[in-house]
Amino acid sequence: MSPTRISDHAEPAAHPLKTAGSVLPGSPTSSTGSKTFGNNMNTSMVESKFLTHPEELGVVAVGFSGGQCKPGVDAAPSALIESGLLTQLRDELGYRLHGDDQVHLYTDLVPADDPPHRNMKNPRAVSAVTRRIADQVYSHAREGRLVLTLGGDHSVAIGTIGGTAKAIRERLGREIAVIWVDAHADINTPETSGSGNIHGMPVSFLTGLAKDDNEDFFGWLRRDNLISVKKLVYIGLRDVDPGEKRILRENGIKAFSMFDIDRHGIGRVMEMALGHIGTDTPIHLSFDVDALDPMWAPSTGTPVRGGLTLREGDFICECVHETGSLVAVDLVEVNPSLAPANDIGAHETVRAGCSLIPSSLDKSASRTALRSADSLVEHKPPRSLTLQHTHSIRDEALQVAPSIECGMASSTVTSGSLVYERRVVEKVHKYHWPAVQLNLWILIMLISACTIIGVFSTFVQIQGFLQLPVPWYFPYYITVSAMTVAFIILLLWLIFQRRLLPSIVMIGGFILFILWLVGLIVISVQLFGPSGSVSSNCNLFVFGANPQPKGQNLQTLAWLEQRSICQSWQAVFAFALVGEIFLLWIMVMAYQVFAGDA
């Protein structure tokens, strides 16, 4: 058993884990024997629902890589700590850190001979190490602290989640929920796994989908350590094995892939993910750095293109923090030795971790994360990003100030001396229009408007033939009706574009309502007015003509023409009234749609 001491790697002064050996004056030593560092108050505004000591952070540094075959992932905790992560958590976010002053390598638990079992590679080592990790995490979680585990490959989550689940059950009698942020589902059973790497299987053991009676092969996992598939949510998936897809489907597991993030935006996805978990459930956040696009985190064992931006990763952490339900966080799969072309990748990946963790512990921390990571390590930009502007550090500090709340539309992230455009996430709001009513409205309004246009155009013509002046309300109503038709065309186009907003309908409907009202009043006055009205003239001379002309003569033709003019007036009045009522209706309908979806 030879754990690597942080001091073997880190700069000598002010390192939180390094000061562990000498407990600060007045700082308590926990019952587990781990020590307390720092004594600032946590400045986070979010009240924790499930932690009795939310200002205390239990740190577990896991230098273990046996869940997969690429060496180097065991060096991640040291790299993260050397970059100042823990110093920042203590000095800037005000956490009191608890933990051992060493990164655990668990060499005492790794057997010399560890042949495969049920297709699993290094099964004894991973089982024994995760069992130990479960104890470590459990001892912090039982004290009511937030637990931070720095991995290691993702197999370590068998221990971290197993430990949290057990402690929370004991302390609060509740089940935990797990948010698994990852490019991979890591839910292969030993039988479905193509690689045999256990870092692709932790979720199946944690949910009981895979089990083994032998204690040497995860048989130590008891019901207390397990989680429910109903309280498991994936975010960022994009490389899921066929067997895993089947498992996800058959168990109805909630999963938000990159497709969902592109479609809904990360804000909506977080709303849905947290909605699925509910507000009364403690959350364990397990963040695999390969959820990020390799542009942001290239140094990881199984990178997959098309991933989250760093800002989206931060946003996920911030949203989870904001719930007040967070009880434990893992950051895994950072592999500083996997830097494809040069060492920029390793630096960037560590730097990404230095942003994610503070984001999950304090919503306003992404800026400080950037600042401290930048100040501690020489800044180099990620490859393949476009240089857009150069700013002085002061300019940058202003721009980086966190302006994003959960669910906000878009943002720009600045980093170092570059400005990177983040993917613009539009918040999509769906309005549910009643299709039948809307179609009926369109049809009736079209008929009304066209009838009025037709009748009054004919009247204008007749006035011309009779060489009489054209009263103003004919062209007026023709224009208003034409505007109504144009409005309907606009609505149809908006429906086609799926952009029919209630506000547009309400404003347009109101304007037309007023215009139609003016027309309706004028028509009513003309038709039913006190003296010489159209209606009384019609009743007197046309409908009441006695005797009514008959036979093929000019008088009959004139009478018929006069009758059709009278009937047209009546039709115009009827349609004007219908149009007016329907305009009122569409305003009410638009309001209901707006209120119903608000």
Scan residues 206-265 and list those touching ligand ARG (CB under 6 A).
241
Pick the closest to residue 399 from 421, 383, 373 (CA basis): 421
Catalytic one of 104, 140, 154, 284: 154
Measured from the CB atom, the residue of 154 and 166 that comes closer to ligand ARG is: 154
Residue 486 beta carbon to ligand ARG: minimum distance, rounded to whole angstroms: 57
Catalytic one of 56, 114, 186, 312: 186
Measured from the CB atom, the residue of 68 and 225 that comes closer to ligand ARG is: 68
Span of 184-192, 428-436, 521-529, 567-575 interacting with ligand ARG by CB under 6 A? 184-192
Span of 37-45, 180-188, 451-459, 509-517 interacting with ligand ARG by CB under 6 A? 180-188
Span of 17-25, 185-193, 221-229, 416-424 interacting with ligand ARG by CB under 6 A? 185-193
Pick the closest to residue 156 from 287, 316, 18 (CA basis): 287
Q: Which helix (H) or strand (E) holds 572?
A: helix 554-597
Residue 294 beta carbon to ligand ARG: minimum distance, rounded to whole angstroms: 13
Three-state SS string over 199-266 comes to HHCHHHHHCCCCCCCCHHHCCCCCHHHCCCHHHEEEEEECCCCHHHHHHHHHCCCEEEEHHHHHHHCH
Question: For this structure, is 15 an active site residue?
Answer: no
Measured from the CB atom, the residue of 182 and 212 that comes closer to ligand ARG is: 182
Q: How many other C-beta atoms lie within 10 A of the C-beta of residue 290?
A: 30
Span of 39-47, 194-202, 418-426, 562-570 interacting with ligand ARG by CB under 6 A? 194-202
Total residues binding ligand ARG (CB under 6 A): 15
Residue 185 beta carbon to ligand ARG: minimum distance, rounded to whole angstroms: 7
Query: Residue 299, interface with ligand ARG (CB under 6 A)?
Result: no
Query: Residue 186, interface with ligand ARG (CB under 6 A)?
Result: yes
Residue 339 beta carbon to ligand ARG: minimum distance, rounded to whole angstroms: 17
Pick the closest to residue 481 from 448, 510, 459, 507 (CA basis): 448
Measured from the CB atom, the residue of 65 and 368 that comes closer to ligand ARG is: 65
Between CA 527 and CA 504 the distance in angstroms is: 34
Measured from the CB atom, the residue of 62 and 419 that comes closer to ligand ARG is: 62
Measured from the CB atom, the residue of 237 and 586 that comes closer to ligand ARG is: 237
Q: The tokens 């587990």 sit on which residue?
A: 32
Query: Residue 188, interface with ligand ARG (CB under 6 A)?
Result: yes
Angle at 11 between CA 8 and CA 15, to 5 degrees: 95
Question: For this structure, is 8 an active site residue?
Answer: no
Residue 29 beta carbon to ligand ARG: minimum distance, rounded to whole angstroms: 35
Helical packing angle, 123-142 and 157-172, nearest 10°: 30
Q: Which helix (H) or strand (E) holds 314?
A: helix 310-323
Q: Which two tokens stand for residue 6?
A: 């942080």
Scan residues 319-338 and list those touching ligand ARG (CB under 6 A).
333
- With CB under 6 A as the contact rule, the residue among 90, 154, 238, 311 that binds ligand ARG is 154
Question: For this structure, is 9 an active site residue?
Answer: no
For strand 96-99 and strand 35-37, is the pairing parallel, antiparallel, or unpaired? antiparallel
Catalytic one of 15, 184, 264, 321: 184
Q: Which two tokens stand for residue 107?
A: 């060499």
Q: Which helix (H) or strand (E) holds 528?
A: helix 502-528
- With CB under 6 A as the contact rule, the residue among 302, 309, 368, 481 that binds ligand ARG is 302
Question: For this structure, is 379 an active site residue?
Answer: no
Between CA 313 and CA 235 the distance in angstroms is: 10
**Rg of the chain over all Cα atoms, to the nearest angstrom:** 36
Pick the closest to residue 85 from 500, 470, 365, 295 (CA basis): 365
Span of 40-48, 95-103, 189-197, 476-484 interacting with ligand ARG by CB under 6 A? 189-197
Residue 537 identity: N
Span of 86-94, 140-148, 186-194, 318-326 interacting with ligand ARG by CB under 6 A? 186-194
Contact 66, 197 (CB under 8 A): no
Contact 187, 209 (CB under 8 A): yes
Name the CA dihedral angle for 342, 347, 349, 355, rounded to a multiple of 10 degrees: -160
Q: Got the DSSP string for 343-383?
A: THHHHHHHHHHHHHHHHHH-TTHHHHHHHHHHHHS---PPT
- With CB under 6 A as the contact rule, the residue among 96, 199, 264, 284 that binds ligand ARG is 199
Catalytic one of 74, 100, 260, 288: 288
The CB-nearest residue to ligand ARG is 200
Pick the closest to residue 27 from 62, 60, 53 (CA basis): 53
Question: For this structure, is 216 an active site residue?
Answer: no
Question: For this structure, is 284 an active site residue?
Answer: no
Question: For this structure, is 288 an active site residue?
Answer: yes
For residue 389, give every residue at least 6 positions away whose Cβ sits within 8 Å of its Cβ, in sequence order, or none.
Answer: 418, 419
Measured from the CB atom, the residue of 185 and 590 that comes closer to ligand ARG is: 185
Catalytic one of 98, 104, 140, 199: 199
Catalytic one of 100, 182, 312, 580: 182
Measured from the CB atom, the residue of 257 and 302 that comes closer to ligand ARG is: 302
Span of 111-119, 192-200, 350-358, 560-568 interacting with ligand ARG by CB under 6 A? 192-200
Contact 124, 304 (CB under 8 A): no
Question: For this structure, is 184 an active site residue?
Answer: yes
Measured from the CB atom, the residue of 288 and 293 that comes closer to ligand ARG is: 288
For strand 4-5 and strand 102-103, is the pairing parallel, antiparallel, or unpaired? antiparallel
Q: How many other C-beta atoms lie within 10 A of the C-beta of residue 300?
A: 28
Pick the closest to residue 452 from 542, 557, 560, 580 (CA basis): 580
Measured from the CB atom, the residue of 121 and 367 that comes closer to ligand ARG is: 121
Would you tell me which residues interact with ligand ARG (CB under 6 A)?
Answer: 154, 184, 186, 188, 193, 195, 197, 199-200, 241, 288, 290, 301-302, 333
Q: Which residues are catalytic?
A: 154, 182, 184, 186, 199, 288, 290, 333
